[in-house]
Amino acid sequence: MTAYALETKSVIKTYNSDSGVIQAVDDVSLQVAAGEFVALVGPSGSGKTTMLSILAALLQPTSGQILLDGQDLSGMGDRERVSLRREKIGFTFQANNLVPYLSAVENVELMLRLNNKLDKAGKLRARELLARLGLGERLNNLPGQMSGGQQQRVAIARALIHNPSLVLADEPTASLDTERAYQVVETFAGLIHEQGRAGIMVTHDLRMCEYVDRVLMMRDGKLVRIYTGRDEIMKELVQGGRH
C-alpha cells in the first residue's frame, strides 16, 4: 500500500450563517505522494481556499481526518499545530510576505531561525538554494530591490529551506506577468520533484497546470474531477476548460 505524505479522509467544513449552514468543504478525500506536485483549481467559492487552510493546519475541519506523514492533524491542540506548521509545512502565497528590512538570504534563514536550526550548515544551504533559484547575485538585496519574480523565488526558497514534508502555494503567480509566472511554477515544480516534497498549488490559471502531475478540481465544496497525466491535462488546456 502506498504511503502518502498527505492524505485526507472525508473532510467536511461547515459554517453557520443567518441563511443557514454553509458547507464550504463537502466530504473531500485526497492523497498526495512525496515528490508529487498537484494543482487545486475551481471557481471562486468552490472551497479550495478553505481546503488549503485546513491542509495548512490553520483551520480545523468540522469532521474528517488530515494525515501528514501519518500524523493526524485533526485532534491537535493549538500549540501542537503551531509546532507542526513551523516544522513540517512550507508556505508561499500571492503576497510573498517577505520581511522588507531583511535581505533575500536573511528572509530564507528566518525559517531556520524559527526552528532553532540556523547553524553553519543551514546558512550554507540557504545560499545554495537561492543560487539554485538563480539568485546567487541577489543574496544581500532587500525585497524592494528585486522584481516580483525574484521575490517569489525567495519565497519559494523560504518555503523549502527547512525540509518540510508538505509545501503549499496559494496563487503564487497571480501578481506576475505570464513569462515570469511560467518561470516561477516551472522552478517550483522542479524543486518539489527533486527534493521529494508533497506540493499543492491553488491557482486560477490553468496554463500553470502544465507543470503539475495532477489537477484536482473543486466545485461547491466537492472534489468533482481529477486530471492525471500531462496528456490529459494539456488536452483540457487546449479545449479551453474553464474553472
What CATH number belongs to 6-238?
Answer: 3.40.50.300
Q: How far, in Å, are 65, 67, 71, 75, 116 from residue 78 at the CA level?
A: 16, 16, 15, 10, 20
Phi, psi at 233, each rounded to 5°: -60, -45
For the chain, 243 residues long, give each residue's pLDDT as a single digit of tens.
Answer: 457 899 999 999 999 888 888 899 999 999 999 999 999 998 888 999 999 999 999 899 999 999 999 889 877 888 898 899 989 999 888 777 899 999 999 999 999 998 888 999 999 999 999 998 889 999 999 999 999 889 988 999 999 999 999 999 998 887 778 888 888 888 889 999 999 999 999 988 888 888 899 999 999 999 988 877 656 666 665 565 444
CB environment 97-122: b (16+ within 10 A), e (fewer): ebeeeebbbbbbbbbbeeeebbeeeb
C-alpha cell at 230: 500531462
Which residues is 128 bridged to in the sheet?
A: none
